[in-house]
Chains A and B, each alone.
Chain A
Amino acid sequence: MRTFPAWWLPPGLPGDGPSLDASLSVDGRAPTSTVSVGDSLRLRFPTPDPAFARRVCDRLAEAGACLRERRTDALVASLGRAGARFLDPADPLRKAALDLLPAAAGLSPAMAREVLNGMARDWTADRLTRLVRAQFADPGVLDGFRPGPGGSRVRAFGRRLIVQLGAGNVAGVSVGGMARALLARSPVLLKPGLHDAVLPVLYARALADCDPELSAAVAVLYWPGGAAAVEAEVLARAGLVVVYGGGDTVEAVRANLPATTPLVAYAHRVGVALVGREALAGGRAERTALDAARAAATFDQRGCVSPHLFWVEEGGEITPAGWAARLAAAMAEVERDLPAGPSPPEVASQLQQLRGTWELKQAAGDGASVFRPPGLEWTVVYDRDPAFSPSCLGRFVWVKPVPDLEQVAGLLAGLRPFLQTAALCGAGGRAPSLVEQLGGVGVSRVTSLRRMPWPPAWWHHDGDDPLRGLVRWVDWEVE
């Protein structure tokens, strides 16, 4: 079993810098602990006490002061240079990422590569530039006061400290958040999700190589759930908190936050897909099924962008049940390219419960069909009842018929707080009105099946501004 030192601290603190020495202790008191992720990797973390957490926050705030002097184009260049290393096949950091990610994130090596490629694309200078331009009509507001409405001047300031609480294990999500915080001129303390701790640490190393000033404004620090004193210390020092997690996690953070500290919360959400008649015509059905299978397989379905079910329109060249069979074939094909990772026991248990129940329903002759290999790699269930059903994840998807795509918005009613991405294909000229309906019931992103897993860097994640949402505006009203 290998051990990865899964932290990053700004210089001047014990345990700082780019050491990969796993035996490193903090303050010479060996306050580190390890957590196993999977069978082959252990993550080592400093075990912060409240005083240590306070020192980290204060040091970050000091380091962050210099961010205000940096220009956006210089920041983008540095961040982009660090990010691009994860796309360079010869780069040792990319190699380390590819080596560690399968165990750290519970993905197959091929899926880990796919995830890294997809994520790191958004860490390049080109994408970050587009993010800034998409968010600010005049990006100069990040560099200094600019003319505003009514003769006033405005500037976007950073926060004293952004505290980012990561979740789960969609690897790479945390790195995007770090880069956005720095672009917004804020130092950032990341508490990573256990399954997304490797990439932020490697990214901080990349920053240290190309721009030490930036890496000094970054910390990656884990503390176990229930370390309330540490968390309170950190939250009290945050200028803004970004939290990813389930409803309970978000609520707990909200409850512990000073009233004046803004919170950006990304709660868990679901994706769905609508497959219209046009996507079933003229040999398009297979292509559609393959795109659908890749969307479900990516991140082993753990993303909020991952589809739980496919509503397939009746009256096309092939029936929804026929398309389910094609989707199953496509899932098998994708499994060859991008094998599923091992199923965590709780997912395996739910897969067995759902599969067995629906195989009994199939035996009952009520129109259900279960498609699956002998192992747990993927499952497609065709169900005649169009009502929304959630997946248990682990590449388990529902296929349900609808007489007309117009009915899907009604089926999503009641799910508003949980909806995120809807893939829409084969709707032809009906797309604009369908998108209006979907937006109306709470969907915040409509896309194609092919793009479904990969929202661009500038997307309005859960309907929020990714960069504008982090800054603090200062108005200068000039007489």
Chain B
Amino acid sequence: MKEKRPPRWATWFLRLYCRPEVLDVIEGDLLELFLREAELQGNHQASRNFSWRVLRFFRVRYIKSLEDFDSMKYISMLKNYFKISFRMLIKGGTYSFLNIFGLAVGLCCSLLIMMHVRNELSYDQFYPEADRIYRTSINTGGNSPALLVHQLKLDYPEIEEGVRIYSHSRWLLDLGQKSTVMARGMKADSTFFKIFPRSFISGDPGKALSEPHSMVITSQFALKYFPGEDPINRILKAEGETYKVTGIVAGSPRNTHLPYDFVLSMPINTMTTEGDWTGNNFKSYIKLKPGTNQHDLSRKFRSFIKRHIAPELLKYTGHDSFEDFLASGYHYNLTVTPIKDIHLHHPRFSFGRDGDYQSVWIIGLVAIMILSIACINYVNMSTARSAIRFKEVGIRKALGFKRKDLMIQFLVEALVVTILAILLALLLSFMGVSLLNDLTNNDFQFADLFDWGGLIGILILILLVVLLAGGYPAFYISGLSPVTALKGGGLSKGGRFSFRRGLLTFQFTVSMFLIGGTLIVFGQVTHMSNAALGLDAEQVLIIKNISELKGKVDVFRNQVLSNTHVEGVTLSSHYPSAGMSDWTYHSLHEDETRFNPYNLFTDHNYLDVMGIQLKEGRFFSAESASDTTNILINETAVKKLGWTDPLGKTLTRGQGSKYTVIGVLRDFKTKSARRSVRPVVIRYGPEMEGEEYSMNFGAVRITGNFDQAVDFIKSNWESVVSDYPFSFIFLNNSFDRLYNRERNFGKLFTLFAGLAIIIAMLGLVSLVAFTVEKRFKEIAIRKVLGASIASVVGLFLMDFAKLLLLAALVFLPIEIYLGQQWLNDFATRITLEWFYLVIPVAVIAIFSILIVSFQAWKASNSDPAFVLKQE
């Protein structure tokens, strides 16, 4: 028969609370009753009664009082553990230092990466109910028509509120008293602060934007430009219109996709409020009612498009029905994107810094790798060095230490090391924050580490490291039987030894992977920034806002041209490397292909100044009056249209327009090499379709002294227009900036990869040194028996070479797979040549061989007689 036992938890609970002097009697009575009832009423009922009685005994009379806790015992034991830990650290000397230092570097990397990743993941979360706010746009372009939000709200009650944003950019604001500033802002509907609530420092949140010519500014902006005064009711000028300040809000934090210094109310009675269904000039946001599913809603939008947008669209494209329109290759749908996803997943929707989810998780992975390398160092060192503690453990066990006590002791040791390491890590992070800021283009403060999330993160890190690094040694060493421990045995057990080798192999693999990753990232960045642009960006200065010169453009141009360093000047609506807008064209030929090329307006000097090559046909000429109906296309556009003989073919934008192709251009880069080359059309600019697309940029080709030429142009600008600042960029710099994100990612990756490798090598140094030390006698005997130094070194090398080989075998497939995965994101990309795989292996191999050989050589160089005399 099974022995009857009362429920374990109840017994445990009783013993936990009950005063020791009455415990025995109470437990005895309870047990007696239990056994009797178990006979009569069965185990189940008896157990229930037992538990009930235990609970009933929970009375003040029987609960332990403070004196019953032998707290001194615990504290003094703990004190002893700490004392032993510090003694072991001091005894360990260099090993301890390397251990702590390695862990500290690993923890520092983790802290900094944690800060970066948390920031990247936190975008727009600060808006209350951010999970109900969505950006809605036509297709994936991010833009939407003027009437969209208004009609959506009418048709769908599940949409709580909506707002349109117009013209988010850097504006020139006239503050009055002849001072102007550049500031980031936008026009928005009066509902703006219902969707994106901010606390109002002054002004009425409900009415601030409801009047035309109103303006809300952020407190930072107010403080900067109106220090010590109340900006409310101040009149500011922007783009020739006046605005009255009606509200001041707390500025938004840095982690938003929609940063701004001010918001202007939407002017009444202009195209922006009347609007239409075909011009996509707005960014629209909607806030859904709680419980609305975004996918259900966007399914409903199909009928919405057919109902409201299609009729207008068809007028313009000339199709018979919306189905026809779709059948001829057009896409037209309304996308709904959560604002929380914009920063990382839809960076092109962002008005601020653009993120990249891929690099975030890669960096996160690197942090985990670094931390695991650092922890492995600790595990390897403490298991390797455990041999010298066998006697201690044996004696402790013989004296009655339980396994639990020993485990606590070793965990306390790990805790001491981790805490010292985290203190050092915080010191390192304090110095490293500015480096991180440079690499991620951010403005983190050291104090950001210590917000609630950060503190919890640090605690979790400590716990994780203590358990990962201290857990195995504690488990392993405490499990030795006292006799084996006292005999000094244990090392001979093969299983554990190969565990350590496994960890070492893992470290080799990770290190190789990090080196390989660095090589690939840098190879790709270099490849992209060296990719042929198809134009000559080296000597070109782009002048922005040239339309501000109004009627005086020609005067300015002639003045600039008079300088001997200036080769040519041209005007255009956009410039390569910056944003361009895509317009819809279709060919008037049998195939009726429609496409959305980048549309560029230029004057007749464009090709010469930009250094773009003409493949066939001719470019615009100043003399030819008919050039306004002529068009040039690039090679990609020819391919897209499937034309074999493009010259003389015609394109249209509907409504009877007709453009004759007079030339084909060689492809040139319009954007980052991350994307493939787009079709481009160029039209003759001086006669344009509307003010929207004015010739806003000048490009000047300069020879000789850049600084002089820039000064000259600047002084000419100021002589022509006094109230608008001269703003320019060099075209090659502008292209270069496209790769800033990748370049910074590369630097970040290199930094952390480098640190990881340093940690791994530190671990290897101390591990090898220790192994060699343990085999001192063996080496001496080998030498006495006639072994050469080379053969002894070889012996050690063979040991590690096997591990290296294994690591390389694991590394290669991972590297090839993940590397290719990352590269697939780029339109122009490097191929994974052999050296991307061989160099990482070679670097780690060389480092390891050097370390092992040096240590082995040092050991075998010592006098065998001296070594053997020891002991």
Partners in one complex: no
